[in-house]
Amino acid sequence: MCVGLKTIHFPGYAVQHYLNSFLCDQAMTQALETYEQPLVESGRVQKMFGSIAHRYDLVNTVLSGGTHYLWRNALLRLVPDDSDASALDVCTGTGDLLPLLDEKFGFVAGVDFCYPMLSCGMQKKAVKPFPLLQGDALSLPFVDDAFDVITIAFGIRNLENLSAGLLELKRVLRPKGALLILEFG
């Protein structure tokens, strides 16, 4: 039986918390009914994010009135702290979520398919550097069951194939792990 979708609504936004054990065919089918395939063309999205990478953080803050920080914090309150856990931020962009993940989990990494976004993330002043990898959410460069927590903030809508993306996230998520999706609602 597939149950367990938690949604917290913010003005115009939704924070969605999926537990890996609930990502079965029935739940995935229901989730996909709200989307038409393909969602986007990945080359176009990669080029667009590459062109705005140097000002992405500022634009995000201005357009959200700074509330995207609140949404990210609310997202992470859905899972308990665990210094033994590993977390992956998919579609990490400039890595805004990584310092927050680092406060909760023992190992944190980010992956994005747009190198200019990662490059901007690498230039940020962080207490400690985070592993940032260039890779596609549809074909992640990790072994099966690699992470306890996977986050994707404002990126799920940009996946070229939502069902393939969710299956790939499930593949690298450990059993009973948590998949946290923050997205425009």
- Per-residue pLDDT tens digits for 127-178: 677 889 999 999 999 999 999 999 999 889 889 899 999 999 999 999 999 9
**What pLDDT sits at residue 41?**
56
Q: Greater confidence, 110 or 11?
A: 110
pTM, 2 dp:
0.76
Indicate the pairing of strand 132-134 with strand 147-153: unpaired
CATH 3.40.50.150 is right for the domain spanning 15-184: yes
How remote is the C-alpha of 24 from its chain's centroid? Answer: 19
Q: What pLDDT was estimated at residue 30? A: 38
pLDDT of residue 148: 97
Residue 127's pLDDT is what? 63
Is residue 13 scored above 70 in pLDDT? no
Determine the residue type at 132.
Answer: L
Q: Can you tell me whether residue 160 is helix, strand or coil? A: coil
